[in-house]
Amino acid sequence: MPLTDYLTLGRSGLRVSPFCLGTMTFGEDWGAVGTTIEESRDVLAAYLDRGGNFLDSANIYTKGHSEQIIGDYFMEHPARRDRVVIATKFCGNMHPGDPNGGGSGRKAILHQVHGSLRRLQTDHIDLLWCHFWDRHTPLEETMRTMDDLVRQGKVRYIGFSDHPAWVCAKANGLAALHGWEPLAAIQIEYSLLQRTPEEDLIPMAMDLGLGVTPWSPLRGGVLSGKFRRDSRPKHGETRVAENSPHLNERTYALVDELAAIGEEVGATPAQVALNWVQTRPGVTSTIIGAKRLSQLEDNLAALDITLTDDHRTRLAEKSAFDKHFPHNFLDNIHPAIQNGATINAQKSEPWPLSPKDDSERH
């Protein structure tokens, strides 16, 4: 799958690359996790040169510097601006002590979006995400304000990042009821070490026709393959903490499997993990990050490999997770519904509490 095999984002007509370039590390304002302006521009240019067209930022990333770097780049290369889908987010508060500096109320949204437009040096945002669920603001206020921005031409498409499934579903219901702009997509954490979105968020998105754009597909670098039982992260040299709770025997066994599969398909553990996420049901475009050109090239190469059904089964076994109610209950109750019948290729055992014949049925 080349980077130029574009996909429509959910049921919208917006075409995006299968890998989205995350720009959270553009700028050194957050310390060691960041990248110099020059390196950031090099990574951005290389991604665009390869045909990538989807950028992800946020007002709070590196204290606003991420958006500024993107804006400066396109001011110098204006012909590229309309060839690119620039996505950014609001909700994060950059004004200490100001209750309206962040969140998803009307005053906060308009303030934040205008700040993003100024830093990006553009007259519109292609995809505007509500970054977090703001429990203090009525959903009607958020959706109406986002609809206003679309009608004003300042925003092209809207989406929710890091919201519960029921909130996303309610938001789209409100949009349908009032004739407002509906959500085009959701952004969620999703990886072999974070599969809980498979319970509600991803099925909800598939049913409603929302695109899915996973973030942290390597769980912050834990699945990069760099860290094994005998090679722990060193303080200050990586985003992964020395005492990360994710560095445990379950993770090491999963990384071992990623490495084994990588040897079979000629890829690194990270490339296998990225490919797994991007080829999951419902996923449109996976957000990747890169501090250096070499990292970008390594990540993009994940699109060139093919995982077999056996590979996926092995990874599923190593990444199995405990489901929550009602999903854990429903997984075990289908014999009571199907009672030995096969429906949509799902087989079932006869239900032991069912009547055996008509004579037992009241």
Instruction: Enumerate domains of the chain plus CATH numbers.
Output: 7-318 (3.20.20.100), 331-360 (no CATH)
Separation of alpha carbons 42 and 212, rounded Å = 27
List all residues 6 or more positions away from 171 whose beta carbon is below 8 Å from its beta carbon. Answer: 139, 142, 143, 160, 163, 183
Q: How many C-beta atoms surround the C-beta of residue 101 within 10 A?
A: 15
Helix (H, G, I), strand (E, B) or coil at 125: strand
Q: 358 falls in which pLDDT band (50, 70, 90)?
A: confident
Separation of alpha carbons 10 and 181, rounded Å = 14
CA-to-CA dists, residue 134 to 62, 161, 180, 254, 307, angstroms:
21, 11, 20, 35, 39
pLDDT value at residue 258: 97
Separation of alpha carbons 13 and 1, rounded Å = 20
The answer to whether 16 touches 9, Cβ cutoff 8 Å, is yes
Distance of CA 346 to the CA centre of its chain: 29
Please report, rounded to a whole number, the percentage of residues in the chain having pLDDT higher than 90: 82
Residue listed under structure tokens 């769980």: 219
pLDDT value at residue 240: 64
Average pLDDT over residues 175-193: 98
354 vs 160 pLDDT, higher one: 160
pLDDT value at residue 248: 82
Q: 247 falls in which pLDDT band (50, 70, 90)?
A: confident
Task: Say if residue 164's pLDDT is above 60.
Answer: yes
Separation of alpha carbons 302 and 47, rounded Å = 14
Separation of alpha carbons 208 and 195, rounded Å = 20
Tokens of 287: 């957000």
Strand partners, 90: 130
pLDDT value at residue 243: 62
pLDDT value at residue 31: 83
- Work out the angle between the directed axes of helices 249-265 and 309-318 (0-180°, nearest 10): 170
Average pLDDT taken over every residue of the chain: 94
What is the per-residue pLDDT across 298-349, written as a single tens digit (0 to 9) for each?
A: 999 999 999 999 999 999 999 999 999 999 998 888 889 998 999 999 888 9
Average pLDDT over residues 142-154: 98
pLDDT value at residue 238: 61
Tokens of 118: 């100024």
Task: Say if residue 233's pLDDT is above 70.
Answer: no
pLDDT value at residue 272: 98
| Residue type at 207 in one-letter notation | D
Strand partners, 354: none
Running DSSP on this structure, what letter comes out for residue 124?
Answer: -
Q: Which of 74, 75, 64, 81 shows the shortest CA–CA distance to 23?
A: 64
Range of weakest confidence among 113-122, 128-137, 318-327, 349-358: 349-358
CA-to-CA dists, residue 281 to 23, 204, 269, 307, angstroms:
25, 12, 21, 14
Residue 306's Cβ-count burial label (10 Å; 0-12, 13-18, 19+) is exposed
- Active site annotation includes 47: no
Separation of alpha carbons 79 and 82, rounded Å = 7
- The catalytic residue among 6, 47, 61, 73 is 61
Separation of alpha carbons 222 and 272, rounded Å = 13
Task: Say if residue 221's pLDDT is above 80.
Answer: yes
Q: What is the pTM of this model?
A: 0.93
Q: Which of 185, 104, 182 shows the shortest CA–CA distance to 150?
A: 182
Range of weakest confidence among 173-177, 228-232, 284-288, 294-298: 228-232
pLDDT value at residue 148: 98
Average pLDDT over residues 217-224: 90
Average pLDDT over residues 188-196: 97
Separation of alpha carbons 87 and 129, rounded Å = 7
